[in-house]
């Protein structure tokens, strides 16, 4: 059975029409979510000390899920990849630069792609020192194995976010390196990301003018839904939107943007259609209980209006495509960043995903204009 | 006044004034335990008694309760609004208690107190059966005890309990509810078994309240993916005090992932959005949208069904001022459905009685 999510009115990349292809050539694309992968842990060995290499060989990773090997919600395809994104030699999609160039960078007209490494990164591991060693290794690996070899790629500063001091150290190590475009966190943290313990990360981000990208997934130790642990992968996938909402409510209500007015955060791979209703709810109930959060000087959505950008993937598919336009209008076209999520199964093709009726100017804004400004790509 | 036939307020709250009010409804053992152990009562932390959320200022009762007694509530939700019937949901901390048997004793006491002090005092009131969901067998026993009373029209559950409600440990509750023609009302709130967000515990009361939609979303996903409506095709579920406007984007997302990964749950043979529109209902208030008629109109259009919204004041919770319970932007035709046709087709026991 196919894992293709597309409805008949959304042709897939493989079958896209000449019209779509022609349209694609008109637009440059800045992808705010590309997933490169090491072929195996061996690839990181040059960037790890003997102490941590030996540790990993003996004890491995220990994130907050019950399995040493495997996923508690097995994916519907190996590694959640597009089946055609597995490189010719096998292994992980996104692990072969040459193949990535032909299948993705060239084919999708990518001007710049922001890499969000997820494999082997150790983010959220309960051993924070291991998490820090892996973050450093992944960051070096991004430069040595990717950005040095391919000018269209940009790196993310992966940080061991459960330990703030170690995270700031890692940010300081790379912040002025021109290949790094953002700091990378995951949504499923052990505490809501707006809490004070994380503020030094935002202080460093603001100081260096680096946006903070927050990608879905991670293992917080808490049930992925507050209704309790779901049983199925589709519930787990659906629940990412709630994780994003909880994270953003925390950012807004703790006053993070009041304290760091220059901070920009990016919600990555959580979809976007839920944002307006969430912001309405946030404002409505803040209005009633604002006495509890006197540190906020404005309605919480106003802080998010300025400080939050949101990536478009996995793209929303309302039954009536007109409803998408309402959502765009409510969010604001200047806050949306196009993302492909290559090489994952729910990949969005820049040539066919956005609705044409928003017009060429807004197409270009979402496909690259907003990202160019945010990541300062000149 | 509503111009819609028999109109129903589907969410009105009764507050237990104090533990003393419940004492007559316990057996000797539990009465003794309450006294010996110094149990003062159980109120959910989701609704701190003095929070502006919990009670509109002009709805505080003279007896110190939020919303007052049955007579006061009837005046505000029925007489002043021209509404004919109201469903009383008692949010008490029954679901948060870890001792199943104590929870069952409290659920029984609450239901008997409701029958005595609310339903017997005001014939226009109906109530939801409070159950100890911690223990489905005890919950079913409480449903059986009350289901024959035509004034009890729904089974009340909390949005966040021990496990997601789709899990088949809960199916005996749905079996009993379906057999008796009782919808399942899932009310916003948490027993605090699970963190209020998957990223842990929020710092503020307002944040916790905003985050309550996550559990409701999780329950919709759970009930659909576990195939509860394949097993119980006549079952209706009412999301109470949900905020409503999150529903469309949530359904798009759930349907998209179902489409993509439906190999793992092949018993779901149509898009989840269709299943939800057939089996779920949502009470209005709060309605999380700005005071803009055009936005409200669009949100209602995105919801995609005129049959699923139910009128509710959420009395005495403070979501709106003045007398206008429904937001602007709802057509006259839909207004009538929300007040009457939709509640009556959801709560069939109401129609059968009147």
pLDDT computed for residue A7 by the predictor: 39
Its CATH architecture, for the domain A27-374, is Alpha-Beta Barrel (3.20)
Contact status, residue B129 vs residue B104, Cβ threshold 8 Å: no
How does DSSP classify residue A290? G
B5-44 residues touching A, CB cutoff 8 A: none
> What does the alpha-carbon distance between residue A49 and residue A46 come to, in Å, rounded to a whole number?
8
Q: Which pLDDT does position A9 carry in this prediction?
A: 39
pLDDT, one tens digit per residue, over A292-302 is 999 999 999 99
Read off the pLDDT of residues A240-257 as tens digits, 9 standing for 90 and up. Answer: 999 999 999 999 999 999
Q: Residue B296 domain-assigned?
A: yes
Q: Is residue B140 part of a domain?
A: yes
Nearest-5° Cα angle at B126, B314 to B144? 120
How many CA atoms are closer than 13 Å to the CA of B278, on its beta-carbon side? 15
Residue B3 maps to a domain: no
Partners of A293 on chain B (C-beta within 8 Å) are 204, 206
Which residues does chain A have within 8 Å of residue B260's beta carbon, measured at their own beta carbons? 3-5, 76, 234, 345-346
Note whether A292 contacts B204, CB cutoff 8 Å.
Answer: yes
The parts of chain B modelled with pLDDT lower than 70 are 1-4, 354
Give the position of tokens 């990202």. A371
List CB contacts (< 8 A) between A187 and chain B: 199
Give the span between the Cα atoms of B60 and B307, in whole angstroms: 33
pLDDT at A14 over 50: no
**B249 vs A: CB within 8 A:** yes
CB contact under 8 A, A189 and B200: yes
Find the DSSP H helices in B226-283.
228-231, 247-261, 272-279
Note the pLDDT of residue B252: 98
The pLDDT of residue B353 = 76
Chain centre to alpha carbon of residue A350: 17
* Shortest Cα distance, chain B CAs vs residue A179, angstroms: 30
**3-state SS class at B94:** helix
- Report the pLDDT value the prediction gives residue A264, as an integer from 0 to 100: 98
- Provide the pLDDT for residue B310: 98
Question: Is there a contact between B226 and A231 if contact means CB atoms under 8 Å apart?
Answer: yes
- Residue B173 CA to residue A302 CA, distance in Å, equals 44
CB-nearest partner of B164 from A225, A233, A317: A225
Is pLDDT above 70 for A202? yes
pLDDT of residue B63: 85
Give the number of beta-carbon pairs within 8 Å between A and B.
Answer: 268
Q: What is the pLDDT of residue A378?
A: 74
For residue B151, the domain's CATH number is 3.20.20.140
The answer for B 58-87 residues in CB contact with A (under 8 A) is none
pLDDT value at position A18? 52
CB contact under 8 A, A225 and B245: no
What's the confidence (pLDDT) of residue B64?
87
The pLDDT of A191-206, averaged and rounded, is 98
Angle at A249 between CA A244 and CA A253, to 5 degrees: 155
Residues of B in contact with A189 (CB under 8 A): 199-200
Residue B128, beta-bridge partner list = B154
User: What would the mean pLDDT of A363-369 be, rounded to a whole number?
Assistant: 97
- Partner-chain contact A281 B214, CB within 8 Å: no
Q: Which residue of B has its CA nearest to A326?
A: B298
Q: What is the tens place of the pLDDT at every residue in A84-101?
A: 999 999 999 999 999 999
Query: Does B198 contact A at CB distance below 8 Å?
Result: yes
Binary contact (B199, A188; C-beta < 8 A): yes
**Whether B170 contacts chain A with CB within 8 A:** no
Hey, how many other C-beta atoms are within 10 angstroms of the C-beta on B66? 22
Asked if B89 has any chain A CB less than 8 Å from its own CB, the reply is: no
Tell me if residue B9 falls in helix, strand or coil: strand
A281–B215 C-beta distance less than 8 A: no
Instruction: Give the Cα separation of B242 and A223 in Å (integer).
Output: 20
Interface of B with A in 90-149 (CB under 8 A): none
Among A216, A228, A230, the residue to mutate for chain B (most B Cβ within 10 A): A228
Q: Which of B218, B197, B231, B168 is nearest to A234 (CA)?
A: B218
CA distance B13 to B79: 16
Whole-number pLDDT of residue A1: 34
| pLDDT score of A15 more than 90 | no
From CA A267, how far away is CA A260, in angstroms rounded?
17
Residue B240 located in a structural domain: yes
Per the model's pLDDT, the better-predicted residue between B263 and A26 turns out to be B263
Nearest CA in chain A to B157: A227
CA distance B7 to B342: 10
A-chain residue closest to B245, CA distance: A277
Indicate the length of chain A as a whole number: 378
Question: What is residue A26's predicted lDDT score, i.e. its pLDDT?
Answer: 73
Mutate which of A83, A185, A215, A226 to disrupt the B interface (most B C-beta within 10 Å)? A226
CB contact under 8 A, B253 and A238: yes
**Residue B261 CB neighbours (<10 A):** 24
ipTM over 0.85: yes
Q: What is the pLDDT of residue A23?
A: 53
Inter-chain contact B259–A7, Cβ cutoff 8 Å?
yes
A4, pLDDT greater than 80: no
Whether residue B2 is contained in a domain is answered as: no
Minimal Cα distance from A243: which residue of B?
B198
- A140, with CB counted inside 10 A (0-12, 13-18, 19+), is middle
Minimal Cα distance from B194: which residue of A? A226
State how many domains chain B has.
Answer: 1
**Structure confidence at residue A25 as a pLDDT band (50, 70, 90):** low
pLDDT of residue A11 exceeding 70: no
SS (H, E, C) A14-56: HHCCHHHHHHHHHCCEEEEEECCCCCCHHHHHHHCCHHHHHHH
Domain spans of chain A, in order of start: 27-374
Contact A223 B254 (CB under 8 A): no
Question: C-alpha angle with apex A162: A292 to A64, nearest 5 degrees?
Answer: 105
Q: What is the 3-state secondary structure (H, E, C) of A311-365?
A: ECCCCCCCCCCHHHHHHHHHHCHHHEECCCCCCECCCCCCCCCCCHHHCHHHHHH
How far is it, in rounded angstroms, from Cα A293 to Cα A254? 8
Which chain B residues have a beta carbon less than 8 Å from that of A320?
A: 304
For the stretch B168-213, pLDDT in tens is: 999 999 999 999 999 999 999 999 999 999 999 999 999 999 999 9
pLDDT confidence of residue B4 = 67
Helix (H) or strand (E) holding A279, with range, is helix A275-289
Contact A317/B252, CB-based, under 8 Å? yes
Q: Taking CB atoms and an 8 Å cutoff, what residues of chain A touch B197?
A: 192, 222, 226, 242-243, 245-247, 249-250
Say if B1 falls within a structural domain. Answer: no
């Amino acid at each position: 059975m196919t894992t293709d999510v597309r409805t008949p009115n959304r042709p897939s990349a493989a079958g896209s029409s000449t019209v779509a292809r022609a349209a694609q050539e008109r637009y440059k694309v800045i992808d705010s979510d590309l997933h490169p992968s090491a072929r195996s842990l061996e690839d990181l060995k040059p960037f790890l000390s003997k102490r941590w290499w030996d540790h990993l060989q003996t004890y491995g990773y220990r994130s907050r899920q019950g399995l040493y090997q495997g996923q508690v919600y097995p994916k519907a395809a190996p590694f959640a990849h597009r089946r055609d994104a597995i490189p010719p030699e096998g292994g992980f999609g996104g692990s072969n630069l040459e193949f990535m160039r032909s299948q993705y960078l060239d084919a999708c007209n990518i001007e710049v792609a922001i890499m969000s490494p997820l494999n082997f990164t150790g983010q959220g591991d309960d051993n924070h020192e291991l998490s820090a060693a892996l973050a450093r290794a992944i960051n070096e690996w991004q430069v040595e194995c990717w950005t040095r070899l391919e000018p269209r790629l940009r790196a993310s500063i992966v940080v061991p976010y459960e330990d703030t001091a170690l995270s700031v150290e890692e940010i300081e190590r790379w912040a002025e390196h021109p290949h790094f475009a953002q700091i990378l966190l995951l949504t499923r943290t052990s505490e809501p990301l707006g809490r004070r313990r994380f503020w030094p990360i935002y202080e460093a981000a603001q100081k260096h003018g680096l946006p903070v990208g927050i990608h879905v997934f991670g293992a917080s130790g808490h049930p992925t839904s507050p209704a309790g642990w779901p049983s199925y992968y589709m519930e787990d996938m659906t629940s990412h939107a709630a994780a994003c909402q909880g994270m953003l409510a925390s950012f807004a209500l703790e006053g993070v943007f009041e304290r760091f007015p220059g901070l920009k955060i990016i919600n990555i791979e959580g979809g976007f259609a839920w944002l307006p209703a969430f912001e309405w709810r946030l404002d409505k109930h803040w209005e009633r209980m604002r006495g509890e959060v006197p540190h906020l000087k404005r309605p919480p959505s106003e802080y998010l209006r300025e400080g939050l950008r949101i990536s478009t993937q996995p793209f929303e598919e309302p039954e009536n495509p007109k409803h998408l336009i309402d959502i765009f209008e409510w969010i604001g076209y200047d806050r949306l960043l196009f993302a492909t999520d290559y090489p994952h199964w729910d990949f969005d093709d820049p040539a066919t995903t956005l609705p044409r009726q928003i017009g060429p100017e807004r197409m270009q804004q979402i496909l690259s204009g907003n990202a160019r400004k945010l990541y300062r790509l000149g | 006044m509503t111009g819609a036939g028999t109109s129903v307020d589907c969410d009105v709250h009764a507050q237990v004034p104090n533990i003393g009010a419940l004492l007559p409804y316990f057996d000797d053992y539990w009465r003794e335990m309450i006294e010996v152990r110094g149990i003062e009562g159980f109120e959910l932390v989701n609704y701190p008694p003095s929070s502006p959320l919990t009670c509109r200022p002009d709805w505080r009762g003279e007896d110190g309760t939020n919303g007052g007694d049955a007579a006061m509530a009837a005046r505000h939700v029925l007489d002043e609004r021209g509404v004919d019937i109201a469903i009383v949901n008692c949010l008490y901390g029954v679901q948060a208690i870890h001792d199943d048997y104590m929870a069952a004793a409290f659920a029984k006491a609450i239901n008997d107190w409701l029958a005595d002090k609310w339903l017997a005092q005001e014939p226009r009131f109906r109530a939801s059966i409070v159950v100890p969901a911690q223990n489905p067998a005890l919950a079913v026993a409480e449903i059986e005890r009350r289901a024959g009373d035509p004034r009890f029209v729904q089974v009340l559950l909390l949005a966040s309990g021990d496990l997601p409600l789709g899990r088949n440990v809960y199916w005996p509750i749905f079996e009993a509810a379906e057999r008796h023609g009782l919808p399942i009302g899932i009310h916003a709130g948490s027993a605090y078994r699970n963190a209020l967000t998957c990223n842990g515990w929020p710092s503020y009361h307002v944040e916790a309240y905003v985050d309550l939609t996550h559990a409701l979303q999780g329950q919709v996903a759970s009930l659909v993916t576990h195939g509860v409506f394949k097993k119980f095709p006549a079952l209706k579920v009412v999301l109470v005090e949900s905020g409503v406007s999150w529903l469309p984007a949530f359904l798009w997302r759930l349907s998209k992932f179902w489409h993509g990964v439906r190999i793992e749950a092949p018993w779901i043979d149509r898009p989840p959005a269709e299943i939800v529109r057939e089996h779920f209902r949502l009470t209005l208030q709060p309605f999380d949208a700005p005071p803009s008629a055009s936005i409200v109109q669009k949100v209602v259009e995105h919801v995609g069904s005129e049959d699923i919204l139910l009128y509710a004041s959420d009395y005495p919770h403070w979501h709106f001022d003045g007398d206008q319970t429904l937001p602007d932007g709802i057509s006259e035709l839909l207004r009538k459905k929300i007040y009457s046709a939709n509640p009556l087709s959801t709560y069939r026991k109401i129609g059968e009685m009147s």
